[in-house]
């Protein structure tokens, strides 16, 4: 409990620090260029207050969209990654395929995605899922390759089926690295979300996602910047949620000799 | 009763083929505890895995209670080297792992208590001492109430006090539960302390080169007797080494 309080405190200090730097940069730019370039934190806060209902709606929509995309990426990517990492035959045949597709940015395919799926909700999800899916696959595959053989022997010697080997060994053994990878991918995912909501969201109102909100208010720098802050907070939210998830699901990682009790 | 006849296990194929066990024959009577010793890497663990049905022999036959072994049997339990505990499972979940995999509803509460692990059920392996980890590994096998117990170096890498403690524990359990046991070890004293007979294997590929009868085995006090010392010296001579 005291640890979580300390963590919250550290985040508050970090936010204060970022706000201070932001204010400094804003002031410096104004002095150098003779007019306001970057709205100050104060202006942005006021702008956020003015548009609060719309901003909140945009935040909620983006959060839900990202949650669905992340869940889909896990649902599809985790089984595939674990199987490819754990079954040498699948590894031989599917790994080249994965490694060829992995570095292809879905952004480069936006035109085709748009033509294929139209401008509805589906295409925005597809872009984010595509980016996160490969992150999950590659992380799961890497972790599943290095499972301790005696852990497999332990369950096989009890007569485990292949499904039981996955359930008792492969999944729990790889979960910490997969969750860490997912946390690292939050930044990439938010970027993709922004692109999906701007490039593929031109028909929407400002409440239909933070990306759309930012673009909709392009000519009101202060409001637009409030949307950017919202995007940063959205990333932080998912980062923290994934960290908490790891602490709950992988409790064994945080006890004993390796973790602090 | 365990009967092994002409057991041959070859890893790999063609030019890369490595024979681990070649034409090995042995028998273990019901309720007998037999120790298997041999040079490092001679195929002892391979023999044990074949007995457990984890790998199928290239040639030869293994029969347990008259039935040919064609896979993992529910009346056979294996104690792994370094216990093979799953770090993400608590002591209780580790001890009940084999039960759950076999879809059995029993708990390991009594076994854990008998092995002095009561109160540690919710701990994770990383919170336990090395000796406690081994006891959890033993608990996992005992919880199955097996008729045959296969043990792969159950005291390797333990300090000498903990090692003797675990050896006494295994001896006591053998008396109490009456299982048929095969214990693989590279520790000469352990083989003499826990083997009613001691099978000596050759260097890889493994064959039985000598069988040492050890009628005095069976009491914790055996360690201090001149007979024990003589058997240890004899076994050491057979193995051709000057030290353990």
Task: Note whether residue A214 is domain-resident.
Answer: yes
CATH number of B2-75+148-239: 3.40.50.300
The answer to whether the CB atoms of B102 and A255 lie below 8 A apart is no
- Chain A residue numbers with beta carbons less than 8 Å from the beta carbon of B54 are 153, 156-157
Task: Note whether residue A23 is domain-resident.
Answer: no
Q: Give, in order, the Cα–Cα distances in Å from B72 to each of A73, B62, B68, B99.
A: 37, 12, 11, 14
- Chain A residue numbers with beta carbons less than 8 Å from the beta carbon of B87 are 252
Q: CA-to-CA distance for A169 and B89, rounded, in angstroms?
A: 10
Q: Is B55 on the interface with A (CB under 8 A)?
A: no
The answer to whether the CB atoms of A257 and B86 lie below 8 A apart is no
State pLDDT tens for residues A231-244.
999 999 999 999 99
Task: Note whether residue A28 is domain-resident.
Answer: no
Task: Note whether residue A17 is domain-resident.
Answer: no
Given a cut of 60, whether residue B50 has pLDDT beyond it is yes
- Chain B residue numbers with beta carbons less than 8 Å from the beta carbon of A150 are 80-82, 84
Q: Which residues pair with B78 in a beta bridge?
A: B150
State pLDDT tens for residues B58-82.
999 999 999 999 999 999 999 998 8
Q: Which residues pair with B19 in a beta bridge?
A: B10
What is the total count of domains within chain A?
A: 1
Among A154, A156, A157, the residue with its CB nearest the CB of B86 is A154
Q: What is the pLDDT of residue A256?
A: 64
**Cβ-based neighbour number of residue B3 at 10 Å:** 15
Q: Tokens standing for B238?
A: 């057979």
- Chain A residue numbers with beta carbons less than 8 Å from the beta carbon of B72 are 156-159
Per-residue pLDDT tens, chain A, 261 aa: give them: 677 788 889 989 999 999 999 999 999 999 999 998 999 999 999 999 999 999 999 999 999 999 999 999 999 999 999 999 999 999 999 988 888 888 888 888 888 888 888 888 899 999 999 999 999 999 999 999 999 999 999 999 999 999 999 999 999 999 999 999 999 999 999 999 999 999 888 888 888 999 999 999 989 999 999 999 999 999 999 999 999 999 999 999 988 654 433
Sign for the pseudo-dihedral over CA of B80, B86, B90, B96: negative
Q: Is B126 on the interface with A (CB under 8 A)?
A: yes
Range of the domain at A65: 39-254
Q: CA-to-CA distance for B81 and B134, rounded, in angstroms?
A: 9
Question: ipTM value of the model?
Answer: 0.88
Confidence of residue B243 (pLDDT cuts 50, 70, 90): very low
**pTM of the shown model:** 0.86
Find the range with the poorest average confidence among A87-91, A220-224, B11-15, B156-160.
Answer: B11-15
Supply the DSSP symbol for B225: S
Task: Note whether residue A176 is domain-resident.
Answer: yes
Listed in sequence order, the residues at least 6 apart from B37 whose beta carbon sits closer than 8 Å to its beta carbon are B44, B184, B185, B186, B187, B188, B191, B198, B199, B200, B201, B235, B239
Average pLDDT over residues B3-23: 89
Confidence of residue B39 (pLDDT cuts 50, 70, 90): confident
Q: Is B98 on the interface with A (CB under 8 A)?
A: yes
Average pLDDT over residues B127-145: 94
Q: What is the pLDDT of residue A2?
A: 76
- Chain A residue numbers with beta carbons less than 8 Å from the beta carbon of B69 are none
Helix (H) or strand (E) segment spanning residue B64 = strand B59-64
Which domain CATH number covers A50? Answer: 1.10.3720.10
Q: Which residue of B has its CA nearest to A251?
A: B88
User: ∠B88-B92-B96 over CA atoms, to 5°?
Assistant: 95
**Cβ-based neighbour number of residue A122 at 10 Å:** 13
Q: What is the pLDDT of residue A108?
A: 85
Q: What is the pLDDT of residue B38?
A: 87
What residue spans define the domains of chain B? Answer: 2-75+148-239, 85-145
Q: What is the pLDDT of residue A202?
A: 81
Task: Note whether residue A261 is domain-resident.
Answer: no
| B99 in Cβ contact with B43 (< 8 Å) | no
Given a cut of 70, whether residue B129 has pLDDT beyond it is yes
């Amino acid at each position: 409990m005291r640890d979580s309080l300390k963590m919250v405190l550290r985040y508050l200090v970090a936010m204060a620090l970022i706000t201070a730097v932001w204010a400094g940069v804003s002031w410096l730019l104004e002095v150098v260029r003779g007019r306001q370039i970057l709205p100050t934190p104060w202006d942005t806060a006021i702008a956020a207050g003015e548009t609060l209902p719309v901003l909140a709606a945009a935040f909620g929509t983006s959060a839900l969209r990202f949650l669905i995309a992340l869940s889909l990426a896990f649902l599809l990517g985790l089984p595939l990654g674990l199987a490819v990492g754990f079954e040498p035959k699948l590894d031989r045949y599917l790994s080249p395929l994965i490694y060829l597709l992995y570095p292809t940015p879905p952004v480069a395919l936006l035109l085709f995605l748009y033509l294929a799926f139209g401008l509805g909700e589906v295409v925005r999800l597809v872009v984010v899922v595509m980016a996160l899916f490969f992150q999950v696959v590659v992380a799961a595959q890497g972790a599943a390759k290095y499972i301790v053989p005696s852990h497999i022997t332990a369950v096989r010697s009890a007569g485990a089926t292949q499904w039981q080997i996955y359930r008792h060994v492969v999944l729990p053994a790889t979960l910490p690295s997969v969750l860490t990878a997912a946390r690292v991918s939050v930044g990439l995912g938010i970027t993709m979300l922004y692109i999906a909501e701007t490039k593929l969201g031109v028909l929407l109102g400002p409440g239909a996602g933070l990306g759309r909100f930012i673009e909709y208010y392009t000519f009101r720098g202060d409001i637009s910047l409030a949307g950017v802050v919202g995007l940063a907070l959205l990333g932080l939210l998912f980062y923290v949620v994934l960290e908490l998830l790891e602490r709950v699901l992988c409790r064994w990682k945080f006890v004993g000799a390796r973790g602090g009790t | 009763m365990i009967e092994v006849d002409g057991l041959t296990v070859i890893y790999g194929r063609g030019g890369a083929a490595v024979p681990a066990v070649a034409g090995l024959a042995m028998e273990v009577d019901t309720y007998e505890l037999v120790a298997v010793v041999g040079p490092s890497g001679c195929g002892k663990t391979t023999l044990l895995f074949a007995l457990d049905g984890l790998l199928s022999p290239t040639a030869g036959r293994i029969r347990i209670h008259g039935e040919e072994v064609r896979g993992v049997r529910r009346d056979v339990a294996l104690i792994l080297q370094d216990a093979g505990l799953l770090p993400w499972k608590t002591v209780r979940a580790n001890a009940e792992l084999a039960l759950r995999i076999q879809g059995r509803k029993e708990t390991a509460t009594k076994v854990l208590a008998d092995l002095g692990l009561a109160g540690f059920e919710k701990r994770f392996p990383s919170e336990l001492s090395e000796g406690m980890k081994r006891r959890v590994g033993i608990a996992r096998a005992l919880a199955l109430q097996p008729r045959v117990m296969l043990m792969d170096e159950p005291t390797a890498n333990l300090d000498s006090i903990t090692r003797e403690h675990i050896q006494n524990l295994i001896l006591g359990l053998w008396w109490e539960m009456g299982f048929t046991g095969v214990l693989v070890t590279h520790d000469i004293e352990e083989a003499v302390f826990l083997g009613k007979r001691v099978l000596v294997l050759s260097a890889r590929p493994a064959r039985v080169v000598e069988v040492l009868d050890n009628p005095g085995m069976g009491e914790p006090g055996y360690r201090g007797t001149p007979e024990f010392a003589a058997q240890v010296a004899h076994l050491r001579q057979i193995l051709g080494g000057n030290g353990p």
